């Protein structure tokens, strides 16, 4: 029995340092916002969201606000509390460093400003040396398998610290069948984006080109800025594109991966060099 007690004590000592680092943070789900809506935590910490509206409704007998169902869902779809409801509690443990944005699906959507809409942010701190580094090995064709036939060309210009993106997609609604294009089809749309990058993120301005003619100049096409975009990479084959297109009021987050993996070894070699140089 003495040996068992000693062994148990050793196990407790081995585990306790890990346990002391884990914290729990509480977020109250209010009528139109999360409180707090911006948390900084560490790997292994847990965030608990609690619907607080039942306390607000206690004792109300006349002119009471309507019961409004809420939920919490990650912008990148990594977690969700389920369908909007009332009187619930949901918890999520975060192990990987990075930024996680979330929202109430009933009253907001992915990519919106956390200071204006029912959205929130969790920043999981980690060693700076462990943050993935954008490098020219990411220059490739990328896409979301759920929307095959659309995608992105991404080019990293390391010497000037810029990332360029071309987005090949479609109109938000199908054009009438009477609309005929001489080349391609009338629903095709393409956007470009350019901006600076640091560590694993690039902040880009979105541009829409118009007024040009196939393989001809003049007329020179017009370039009009029409929103913002954040491109974030977690490794050499996974990333997200978060966009906010002002003219159509569309925001969202698109998970992306490479179409082929032939440039992954180059990307990993360049990323390792950048990590060693830090």
pLDDT digit string, tens, across residues 174-203: 888 888 888 888 878 889 999 999 999 999
Contacts of 97 (CB under 8 A, 6+ apart): 43, 124, 125, 126, 127, 130, 131
User: Average pLDDT of 266-274?
Assistant: 92
With helix as H, strand as E and coil as C, how does the chain read?
CHHHHHHHHHHHHHHHHHHHHCCEEEEEECCCCEECCEEEECCCEEEEEEECHHHHHCCCCCCCCCCCCECCEECCCCCECCCCECCCEEEEEECCCEEEEEECCCCCCCCCCCCCCCEEEEEECCCHHHCCCCCHHHCEEEECHHHCCCEEEEEEECCCCEEEEEEEEECCCCCCCCCCCCCCCCCEEEEEEEEEEECCEEEEEEEEEECCECCECCCCCEEEEEEEEEEEEEECCEEEEEEEEHHHCEEEEEEEEECCCCCHHHHHHHHHHHHHHC
Q: Is the pLDDT of residue 20 over 70?
A: no
Could you tell me if 76 and 158 are in contact, meaning their C-beta atoms sit under 8 angstroms apart?
no
Radius of gyration of the chain (CA): 24
Res 106: pLDDT: 86
pTM: 0.55
Q: How far apart are CA 34 and CA 26, in angstroms?
A: 10
User: Average pLDDT of 132-150?
Assistant: 95
Res 7: pLDDT: 35
Q: Write down the mean pLDDT value for the chain.
A: 85
CATH fold of the domain at 20-126:
Immunoglobulin-like (2.60.40)
pLDDT digit string, tens, across residues 42-81: 899 999 999 876 544 445 555 565 667 889 999 999 999 9
């Amino acid at each position: 029995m003495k040996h068992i007690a000693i062994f148990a004590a050793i196990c407790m000592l081995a585990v306790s340092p890990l346990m002391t680092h884990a914290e729990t943070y509480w977020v109250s789900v209010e009528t139109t916002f999360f409180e707090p809506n911006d948390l900084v935590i560490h790997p292994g910490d847990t965030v608990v969201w609690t619907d607080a509206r039942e306390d607000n409704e206690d004792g109300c007998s006349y002119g009471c606000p309507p019961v409004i169902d809420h939920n919490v869902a990650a912008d990148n779809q990594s977690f969700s509390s389920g369908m909007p409801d009332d009187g619930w509690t949901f918890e999520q443990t975060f192990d990987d460093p990075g930024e996680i944005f979330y929202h109430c699906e009933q009253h907001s959507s992915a990519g919106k400003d956390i200071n204006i809409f029912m959205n929130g942010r969790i920043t999981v701190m980690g060693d700076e040396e462990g943050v993935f580094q954008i490098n020219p090995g990411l220059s490739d064709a990328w896409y979301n398998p759920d929307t095959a036939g659309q995608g992105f060309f991404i080019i990293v210009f390391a010497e000037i610290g810029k990332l360029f993106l071309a987005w090949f997609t479609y109109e938000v609604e199908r054009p009438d069948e009477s609309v005929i294009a001489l080349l391609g089809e009338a629903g095709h749309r393409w956007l470009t984006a350019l901006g600076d990058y640091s560590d694993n993120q690039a902040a880009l301005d979105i541009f829409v080109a118009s007024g040009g003619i196939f393989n001809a100049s003049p007329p020179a096409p017009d370039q009009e800025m029409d929103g913002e975009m954040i491109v974030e990479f977690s490794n050499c084959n996974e990333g997200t594109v978060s966009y906010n297109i002002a003219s159509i009021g569309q925001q969202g987050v698109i998970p992306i991966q490479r179409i082929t993996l032939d440039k992954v070894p180059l990307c990993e070699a360049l990323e390792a060099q950048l990590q060693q140089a830090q």
